Structure 1
Amino acid sequence: MPAKLYKMDFSPPARAAMMACEIFNVPVEIIDINVPQGDHLTPEYLKMNPCHTIPVFVDGDFVIHDSHAILMYLADAYGDNSPLYPKDIKQRTLVNQKLFFTDGTVFTRLKRITYPAFVHGVRGVSKEILDSLQEVYDFLEAFLSRHKFLALDHITIADIAAYATASGYQYVVPLDTNKYPKVAAWLKEMEKQPYCQKYNAAGDKILGEFLRSVIESK
């Protein structure tokens, strides 16, 4: 029986999980969750994930409801010693560090726009929030000045997690490629990956259109 991944294309964390399933060749049934219809609030879904967030990954009787934990699990369970999540303790720590950075900073700062807008209909974005997104470009440029990719000199699950969210930043704060050449190169390199084209591009466009509607509304 294949595993199950509950997702919504609008969600960057869900897209990261889908990309990881593709990368690690996970036999998985992908199930859409319709948030406006309340699929994430049904008793069945809440039993899997009391936080009612997306995605949720179910592997037999094992349930995970955080995208970063899902990526880590998939790499270990299906990755066959993949360099995307190295066994070397120092390299793995660097990957974990960037996963936590994505969770606590990259995604959280964008969520300050998407959550109030999607759930409560809030429109418009403050300068404070725009500046906080701009600062993330500063952080990314600094990290990418140390390695070709976020954690190491090759793609890891940290890049998968970060890219799924950072690809949407440009709809809010357009990237100055002269100021952030390494971020621009990283985004371009990630964009051309087959799994990003298959599972991130369309959802990113949906999110981008939504973000533009939020920003342009007064």
Structure 2
Amino acid sequence: MGKLTLYGIDGSPPVRSVLLTLNALGLPFEYKVINLFGGDHLKPEFLKMNPLHTVPTLDDDGFYLYDSHAINAYLVAKYGKDGKESLYPKDLQQRAIVDQRLHYDSSVFGSTARAITFPLIRENQTEIAQAKIDALSGVYETLNLFLKSTDYLAGNNLTIADFSVIAVLSGMVVFLEVDARKFPNLAGWVQRIKKLPYYEEANGSKVTQFTDFLKSKNFTIV
């Protein structure tokens, strides 16, 4: 295989989802942290790889790909072996369920999370409307439903859908904890994901950069 290089920042949920996938596949890779505030993503050499100047960006020996969902699916399709193919199943019906969960993550969960975090990060607002937290609770309820009869979000096998969702959820608990009494299936799933041998390195130790930053905003829910 060629050289894999991932460009990103620790605070980004999509970047952390790719780190989870790379680690789950046991792939050797180089992780290059991009200084967004310093404009690294706007330099010509980065724009050549990704004209949208976003992270994560993957360089697979000269093949460039961006968007975490696309990257994760590509990595499993190309490098998944020895049972790891199940992270993005080849069976069309099983894969369709994974895709549905990924679309839910990128649209509903992602938009709900951004509605809360972007005003804090980009506009320095410190008040969060209760309605936004209620919407987040609604997402938790849906995720809890997805897990009603399975161990993981898209069935009884771990998939890239789990990586995408945990990367977002692990940051959102700053605003709303996963109450095991209200969301028992979701709470159990979180604990299963946290027990993965590579979880702490790929997500747990890195999400604190994001959560500490959010807490520093001293926000209030009104």
TM-score > 0.5 by shorter chain: yes
Corresponding position of 1:71 = 72
1:123 touches 1:217 (CA, 8 Å); kept in 2?
yes
- The two structures, once aligned, show a CA RMSD in angstroms of 1.7
TM, length-normalised to structure 2: 0.92
Corresponding position of 2:209 = 206
Identity %: 35
Shift in Å, 1:215: 5.1
Shift in Å, 1:69: 0.3
* Correspondence list, 1:23-34, <5 A: 23-34=24-35
Corresponding position of 2:179 = 176
Q: 1:138 to 1:99 in 2, by over 3 A?
A: same
Please give the alpha-carbon distance, in whole angstroms, between the structure 2 residues aligned to 1:127 and 1:176: 17
Please give the alpha-carbon distance, in whole angstroms, between the structure 2 residues aligned to 1:37 and 1:123: 25
Corresponding position of 1:10 = 11
Moved more, 108-117 or 48-57: 108-117
* Correspondence list, 1:137-176, <5 A: 137-176=140-179
1:159-213 C-alpha deviation (Å, 9 max, x unpaired) = 0111111112211112221010011000111011122111101221121122223
After TM superposition, the runs of 4+ consecutive aligned structure 1 residues lying more than 4 A away are none
SS at match of 2:141: helix
Corresponding position of 1:21 = 22
1:141 touches 1:183 (CA, 8 Å); kept in 2?
yes
SS at match of 2:167: helix
Please give the alpha-carbon distance, in whole angstroms, between the structure 1 residues aligned to 2:161 and 2:199: 14
Shift in Å, 1:217: 6.0
1:96 paired to 2:103: no
**1:101 counterpart letter in structure 2:** Y
Aligned length: 218
Moved more, 42-51 or 70-79: 42-51
Moved more, 207-216 or 86-95: 207-216
Please give the alpha-carbon distance, in whole angstroms, between the structure 2 residues aligned to 1:122 and 1:31: 30
